[in-house]
């Protein structure tokens, strides 16, 4: 490691330690059997421990955990934040579900796939119901799919996923106006037929994702734009009912007694608290107010020494996302590929993850993570080239910067300050300051940090109101295409204004290619274009370190999930 990296590492650790109080240093993890519950049921959200005590005496089982930000809403077709997915997962269920790392039957108890891979016939179970007891039918999935691609739908970000349906893209673009011409039909109440334009090897995996959930049009029409914004304005079919939503404070889920597989749901209630500060959450864990919590980086060594740290590979990558159509003073540089590469080579990723996270997170050296599967082959065996390096390559970074300045006619002393948008949590502040220090030291590029709430960050990204934004993504399905197709020029998830004809062509051809080896080569070419011309600079693969009370079991984790900790099948045993 370079000397400057060592100095930076020490500086960042010092910043983190000074900024944080040290939870748990003088206390031990509370014994679940000795936790004392407040008598007052109306106590401040997050302070009630009655549920855990009740479970000890054979009464209600209540799991208490936290997330850092408020869900944007719980409409499956409008919202893509981690918080939104985390809160949406327990209240809906699609045709299939992710369980124990495998695709398993959900509302569909079985399915048939035609020999050419173009027609899927799903056979729905007749005992799946909505919260109000109404049966879930094939028509509810037709309504959900067509609402996803409706040109007047709530949000077009995920509409491109529906383009794989026959006439899906044409319907979204208004070229086909009769939804009966779209390749999805209810053959009867419990038989759903889906016709695809081309074979999609990962189609079943896609159907576990939120944007393919069923929908009740009577509910969406009743609440209109407010659907999914409050507990009394959403209707689900999943294993839990959203009972309360105290905005910016807490969501309370209760077990759905009408769920078709209710016997597999062991918890009676889940309290999901909104706690932006990881140190506060960890303190609440230590005092028995939470049953599990993320461990902030400064305290990972403590819990590791105790043998209680749990390291989870979330499959999520974080990156610097550039606005190629910015209106700020830095617009010319932001739209220059060499400037973006200069930024990428100036970052010491290893020092960054060691200092900021210290939780098993690793440097991201390419865009698409190697853990993705192309059929039965890990992507790392298909795309074997690393673009960036674990430590900063200052010489290469400065070479790219010189090219960018020449191409844009910018003198070194006239490089404007670049805006840097990020979330308003303490962790993100430390992260932004680390990147700010690296770019100033290694490139002489200054960034101005702007911290906002996560919900506002997503709105600003969608509106193109940023220069560089620190953003991340967890895959919706297990295939390299999950990462690459989101950068197509027609993708609703492409907030960068990146448009490259060759890249789009390769993705389109890969979508029509059945042979996995040939498809892999097309995607590898697209990956190279992304690295050479693209709008994203990968920074790190996000692992998380957690600690949980001994009485918590069966918390599901995995790289393909709507959340890092999936509590749907969790249990509390005492």
At 422 the pLDDT is: 97
Domain containing residue 212: CATH number: 3.90.76.10
Total structural domains within the chain? 3
- Alpha-carbon span 23 to 277, nearest angstrom: 12
Q: Where is the domain boundary, 190, 222, 254?
A: 222
- Integer angstrom CA distances of residue 415 from 328, 400, 422, 537, 558: 12, 14, 22, 20, 43
Q: Is residue 456 part of a domain?
A: yes
- 200/114 same-domain check: yes
Cα-based torsion angle of the residue sequence 96, 98, 101, 102 in order, rounded to the nearest 10 degrees: 0
Q: How far is 345 from 364, CA to CA, in rounded Å?
A: 12
- Cβ(261)–Cβ(506) under 8 Å? no
Predicted confidence (pLDDT) per residue in 14-42, tens digit: 334 334 444 444 333 333 332 222 223 33
Note whether residue 504 is domain-resident: yes
Instruction: Report the CATH number at residue 369.
Output: 3.10.105.10
Same domain, 422 and 348: yes
For residue 313, the cross-strand partners are 543
Helix (H, G, I), strand (E, B) or coil at 414: helix
Q: What residues contact 152, with CB distance under 8 A and at least 6 apart?
A: none
Backbone phi, psi, residue 251, to 5°: -120, 140
Sign, CA torsion 53/57/294/428: negative
Residue 104 within a domain: yes
Q: Are residues 441 and 499 in the same domain?
A: yes
Query: Is 36 among the domain residues?
Result: no
Whether 391 and 511 share a structural domain: yes
Mark which of 169, 203, 222 sits at the end of a domain.
222
328 and 437 assigned to the same domain: yes
Asked if residue 30 belongs to a domain, the reply is no
- The confidence score (pLDDT) of residue 99 equals 80
Q: What is the pLDDT of residues 64-79, one digit of tens each?
A: 999 888 888 899 988 6
| SS3 letters across 291-328 | CEEECCHHHHHHHHHHCCCEEEEEEEEEEEEECCCCCC
**355 and 377 fall within a common domain:** yes
Q: Decide if 26 is inside a domain.
A: no
What is the DSSP pairing of strand 468-473 with strand 310-322?
antiparallel
183 and 236, same domain (yes or no): no
Same domain, 332 and 437: yes
Q: Do 505 and 361 sit in the same domain of this protein?
A: yes
- What is the predicted pLDDT for the residue at 117? 93
Q: What is the pLDDT along the chain (574 residues), one digit of tens a residue?
A: 443 443 344 444 333 433 444 444 433 333 333 222 222 333 333 333 333 444 444 589 999 999 888 888 899 988 667 788 888 889 999 999 988 778 899 999 999 999 999 999 999 999 999 999 999 999 999 999 999 999 988 876 788 889 999 999 999 999 999 999 999 999 999 999 999 999 998 899 889 888 899 999 999 999 999 999 999 999 999 999 999 999 999 999 999 999 999 999 999 999 999 999 999 999 999 999 999 999 998 899 999 999 999 888 777 899 999 999 999 999 999 999 999 999 999 999 999 999 998 888 999 999 999 989 898 899 999 999 899 999 999 999 999 999 999 999 999 999 999 999 999 988 899 999 999 999 999 999 999 999 998 889 988 998 999 999 999 988 878 899 999 999 999 888 899 999 999 999 999 999 889 889 999 999 999 999 999 999 999 999 988 889 999 999 988 765 555 445 578 889 999 8
Instruction: For 81, list phi and psi in degrees, rounded to 5.
Output: -75, 160
The helix-helix angle for 337-345 and 426-443 (nearest 10°) equals 110
Instruction: Please indicate, yes or no, whether residues 420 and 553 belong to a single structural domain of this protein.
Output: no
Residues 359, 297 contacting (CB under 8 angstroms): yes
pLDDT of residue 532: 94
Q: Which domain holds residue 202?
A: 96-222
Residue 115 inside a domain? The answer is: yes
- pLDDT confidence of residue 565: 57
Q: Does 400 share its domain with 527?
A: yes
CA 122/CA 384 separation, integer angstroms: 38
User: pTM surpassing 0.85?
Assistant: no
Task: Tell me which DSSP letter residue 544 carries.
Answer: E
Judged on CB neighbours under 10 Å (0-12, 13-18, 19+), 123 is: middle
Question: pLDDT of 507-536, one tens digit each?
Answer: 999 988 988 999 999 999 999 999 999 999
CA distance linking residue 15 with residue 11, whole number of Å: 6
Q: How many CB atoms lie within 10 A of CB 150?
A: 17
Query: What pLDDT score was predicted for residue 80?
Result: 66
Q: Give the CATH number, domain containing residue 559.
A: 3.40.190.10
- 62 located within any domain: yes
CB count, 10 Å around CB of 494?
18
Cα–Cα distance, 164 to 166 (Å, whole number) = 7
Same domain, 252 and 124: no
pLDDT recorded at residue 58: 59
The last residue of one of the domains, among 193, 222, 251, is 222
């Amino acid at each position: 490691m370079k000397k400057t990296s060592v100095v930076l590492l020490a500086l960042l650790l010092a910043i983190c330690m000074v900024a944080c109080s040290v939870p748990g240093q003088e206390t031990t993890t509370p014994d679940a059997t000795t936790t004392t519950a407040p008598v007052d049921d109306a106590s401040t959200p997050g302070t009630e421990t009655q549920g855990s005590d009740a479970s000890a005496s054979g009464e209600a089982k209540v799991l208490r955990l936290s997330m850092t930000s408020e869900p944007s809403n719980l409409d499956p077709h409008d919202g893509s934040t981690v918080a939104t997915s985390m809160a949406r997962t327990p209240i809906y269920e699609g045709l299939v579900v992710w369980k124990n790392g495998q695709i398993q039957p959900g509302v569909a108890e079985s399915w048939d796939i035609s020999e050419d891979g173009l027609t899927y016939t799903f056979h729905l179970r007749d005992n799946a119901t909505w919260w109000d007891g109404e049966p879930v039918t094939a028509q509810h999935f037709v309504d959900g799919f067509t609402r996803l691609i409706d040109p007047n739908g709530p949000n077009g970000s995920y509409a491109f996923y529906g383009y794989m349906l026959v006439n899906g893209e044409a319907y979204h673009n208004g070229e086909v106006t009769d939804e009966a011409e779209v390749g999805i039909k209810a053959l009867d109440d419990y038989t759903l037929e889906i016709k695809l334009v081309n074979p999609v090897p990962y189609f079943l995996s896609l159907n576990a994702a939120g944007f393919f959930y069923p929908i009740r049009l009577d509910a969406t029409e009743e609440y209109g734009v407010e659907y999914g914004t409050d507990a009394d304005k959403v209707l689900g079919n999943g294993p839990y009912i959203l009972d309360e939503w105290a905005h910016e404070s807490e969501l309370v889920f209760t077990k759905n007694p009408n769920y078709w597989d209710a016997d597999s749901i062991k918890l009676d209630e889940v309290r999901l608290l909104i706690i932006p500060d990881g140190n506060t959450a960890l303190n609440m864990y230590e005092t028995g107010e939470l049953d599990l919590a993320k461990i902030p980086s400064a305290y990972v060594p403590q819990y590791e020494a105790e043998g209680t740290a749990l390291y989870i590979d979330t499959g999520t990558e974080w990156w610097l996302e550039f606005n190629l159509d910015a209106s700020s003073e830095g617009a010319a540089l932001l739209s220059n590929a060499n400037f973006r590469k200069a930024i990428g080579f100036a970052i010491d990723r290893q020092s960054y993850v060691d200092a900021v996270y210290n939780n098993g997170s690793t440097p991201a050296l390419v865009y698409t993570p190697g853990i993705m599967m192309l059929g039965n082959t890990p992507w790392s065996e298909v795309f074997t080239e690393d673009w960036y390096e674990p430590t900063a390559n200052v010489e290469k970074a400065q070479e790219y910067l010189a090219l960018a300045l020449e191409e844009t006619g910018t003198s070194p002393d006239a490089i404007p300050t670049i805006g840097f948008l990020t979330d308003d949590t303490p962790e993100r502040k430390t992260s932004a300051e680390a990147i700010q220090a690296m770019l100033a030291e290694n490139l002489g590029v200054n960034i101005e940090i702007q911290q906002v709430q996560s919900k506002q960050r997503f709105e600003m990204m969608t509106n193109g109101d940023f220069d560089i934004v620190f953003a991340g993504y967890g895959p919706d399905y297990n295939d390299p295409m999950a990462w690459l197709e989101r950068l197509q020029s027609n993708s609703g998830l492409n907030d960068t204004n990146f448009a490259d004809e060759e890249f789009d062509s390769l993705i389109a051809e890969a979508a029509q290619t059945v042979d996995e080896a040939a498809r892999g080569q097309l995607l590898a070419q697209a990956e190279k274009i992304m690295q050479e011309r693209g709008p994203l600079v990968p920074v790190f693969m996000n692992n998380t370190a957690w600690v949980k009370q001994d009485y918590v079991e069966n918390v599901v984790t995995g790289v393909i999930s709507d959340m890092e900790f999936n509590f749907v099948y969790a249990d509390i045993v005492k």
